[in-house]
Structure 1
Amino acid sequence: MKTLTRLLGALLLVVATPAMAAVAAEPKNLQVMSWNMCGSQRSTWGCAGTGTPQQKIDVVMYHVQHNFVHAALLQEVCENDLTLLMGQLGVGWSRSFFPYQWSQDGVRSNSRCGNDNGRSDRIGTAIVIKAGMSSAQLYPTTQPWTGQNRPFQCATATYWNVRLCNVHLSTQASNPDHPDWEYGDDQLAEIRSITSAFPRVVFGGDFNVTPPDSPGNARAWLWPAGLYSTGAGTAGYQECDQEGATRTGRPTHDGGWKIDYVFSSEPRRWCALGNSAYSDHHVLVESVSVA
């Protein structure tokens, strides 16, 4: 009987003990860099005189070391140069690479880094992540039947559990058979649909279109509703360099235009823009707080 009494008392003690309050996880800072490296050594790509592969790699390494970049969204990177970068980053870094392709009446071939008699390694876009990568995937988007096809890819940064996506939109007149056709509107709508499925996402890259509120932007109609936030409490994503409800930002290209962006579902901590002599595009770095 005494044994039963002690057992009941212990059970009552367990039931009566109040549960400990759940402690919120401390936010993790994530710095994401976007840069069009202008790495092509093919004369028609217009990257002559923008530096050597090692000089371009040094730009990425600088931001990793000084701005504590954890992930890079790279456009126009040659595959062999990406291999060199990964070797210099060292252990703990992962990459995902997808090539640009030229489509000729729907028949696609991988784009080369060099001219036909030069370097034969592919050129494409890359996502580079520290502290783990998973589920790298190429997502189909509307592309020219004849013309340059540009990939849209995403991968998960496992330490932060954030989906990172790399964007490079089609330019105007990207289809030589139909130079008046636009593809950016379809691509942006498709990207908006894909990113909306991710609870946490950072996506950026070379959009080849200026912001919707830029003065005189005749292509502002390309931007779909619900992608570019118009301020606190509105639908869409805040852009790295956005202030308030105005959808503009500082120039990211040597021509004086803003065409490079980083959008995020997570709270922005800071946004940095850095010029470089080794590309016609500037480097954009956003720091976000991931709960």
Structure 2
Amino acid sequence: MRTSRIRTLMRRTTAGLLGAVAITLTLPADAGAAVESVRAMTWNICGEAGGPPGDPSYCPYRNEPKKKAQAIAAVVRARRLNVVMLQEVCSGPPRRGAAKGHSQLDEIQAALGRGWSPAWAESVRPDGRSDCRGALSGTLSTAILVRGKISDRPRPVPLPVPLHKDADRSQVLCVGVSGWKTHVCTTHLANTEPLLAAGVYDKEIATIKKTVSAYPRVVLGGDFNMGLYNHKIPARLQPLYRMMPECDRKSYAPGDAADEPTHFSFDPRTGTYFESKIDYLFGTAGFTGCDSWTELADHADYRHTRQPTGISDHAPLYGYTKAS
């Protein structure tokens, strides 16, 4: 399929998906509030995954950062968000010797427009490298963009993940925003059977809890790589659930489901997707609304097509904290 036709289809698909969601969540009012409402989205945009269509590691529009940037900006505008948390995104300048170009984070900031400030923290692949591959520029990372000025940039805290053939190593990234009483943090946990058996995942959770406990008010989001099935909270996530509410634990409007899936893994044998919730938004202030925009995740049957129907194998999860 020609590139121009793909672009046309992508514009139509994004517009159609954005108009397809009928559930309306009430935004909290900030007027006169002593504490702002944080309207945050977390989205693993699989900006660096490889593999052909239908492969478990496949990422739609992997080498087309403008596509992902346009989709992120569309969600932000449709849901009036003021915080964007991203995982598996390419950020910062190109590595020495690499081809020049804008990183994905640059494209996203441009798509959002003026008034947004970025921060990012490096992630490391199992091979020890963090340079973005293919046609992408920059460093593999987690990132935060806020509508406002970042006034506090604590040093990112590395997660205690050893070099492992199947695990990326990320960090806990937090920022403070000028005029806000709430810090926002994001991360991307590694999870494999050997890491679980060795207690590494529990140490990651402990590191996150210790890091965010430094802030009286915090919103924490990210890809925790730990599934929640049949509304049952995994024991390993209980330390965070005991610490503060998770946004999608309840419904907020008629037709709004709780604990919606955020990750969709294609099964090439059946053409179906395995759904799970592995992305989470926590907040000390609690939430007035939350939703997983599942229509924006890829659901294409790659036995019969090479045209994706979404932006990532993850759906964006967004929520609004209470203003007070």
TM range (shorter): 0.7 to 0.9
Superposition CA RMSD, Å:
2.6
Distance 1:174 1:91 in 2: 45
Distance 1:57 1:202 in 2: 23
Q: Kindly indicate whether residue 280 of structure 2 is the aligned counterpart of residue 261 of structure 1.
A: yes
> How many percent identity over aligned positions?
27
Letter in 2 for 1:61: A
- CA shift at 1:214, angstroms? 4.4
- CA shift at 1:146, angstroms? 3.5
Residue aligning to 1:221: 235
Q: Kindly indicate whether residue 178 of structure 2 is the aligned counterpart of residue 155 of structure 1.
A: no
Equivalent residues of 2:90, 2:140 under 8 A apart: yes
Residue aligning to 1:251: 261
- CA shift at 1:170, angstroms? 0.6
Equivalent residues of 1:40, 1:47 under 8 A apart: no
- CA shift at 1:174, angstroms? 6.8
Any idea what the Cα deviations from partners look like across 1:33-90, whole Å, max 9, x if unmatched? 0000011154498134356322211121112211011011100111201111112222
Distance 2:280 2:150 in 1: 22
- CA shift at 1:222, angstroms? 2.0
Of 89, 92, 102, the residue aligned with 1:77 is 89
Equivalent residues of 2:260, 2:291 under 8 A apart: no
Return the TM-score normalized by structure 2.
0.68
Distance 2:145 2:221 in 1: 13
2:322 is paired with a residue of what secondary structure?
A: strand
Distance 1:168 1:194 in 2: 14
Of 238, 248, 271, the residue aligned with 2:245 is 238
Of 114, 118, 127, the residue aligned with 2:144 is 127
Give unmatched runs, 5+ long, in structure 1: 1-23, 230-235
Letter in 2 for 1:91: R
1:223 is paired with a residue of what secondary structure?
A: helix
Distance 2:321 2:223 in 1: 20
Distance 1:129 1:42 in 2: 29
Report the CA distance shift for 1:173/1:50 in structure 2 as closer, same or farther (over 3 A). Answer: farther
Residue aligning to 1:34: 42
Distance 2:140 2:133 in 1: 9
Residue aligning to 1:285: 318
1:35 is paired with a residue of what secondary structure?
A: strand
Distance 1:290 1:203 in 2: 17
Residue aligning to 2:71: 59
Of 49, 59, 64, the residue aligned with 2:60 is 49
Equivalent residues of 1:157, 1:163 under 8 A apart: yes
Give unmatched runs, 5+ long, in structure 2: 1-31, 92-102, 252-257, 265-273, 297-309
Letter in 1 for 2:323: V
Report the CA distance shift for 1:184/1:50 in structure 2 as closer, same or farther (over 3 A). Answer: farther
Residue aligning to 1:194: 211
Equivalent residues of 1:41, 1:114 under 8 A apart: no
Equivalent residues of 1:99, 1:110 under 8 A apart: no
Any idea what the Cα deviations from partners look like across 1:247-283, whole Å, max 9, x if unmatched? x711111131000000000131111221211100011
Equivalent residues of 1:42, 1:112 under 8 A apart: no
Distance 1:73 1:194 in 2: 17
Specify the structure having the higher radius of gyration (Cα): 1
- CA shift at 1:98, angstroms? 1.4
Letter in 2 for 1:82: L
Equivalent residues of 1:38, 1:50 under 8 A apart: no
Report the CA distance shift for 1:160/1:68 in structure 2 as closer, same or farther (over 3 A). Answer: same
Letter in 1 for 2:220: F
Letter in 1 for 2:286: P
Q: Kindly indicate whether residue 158 of structure 2 is the aligned counterpart of residue 140 of structure 1.
A: yes
1:46 is paired with a residue of what secondary structure?
A: coil
Return the TM-score normalized by structure 1.
0.76
Any idea what the Cα deviations from partners look like across 1:114-137, whole Å, max 9, x if unmatched? 15xx54532111010111112223
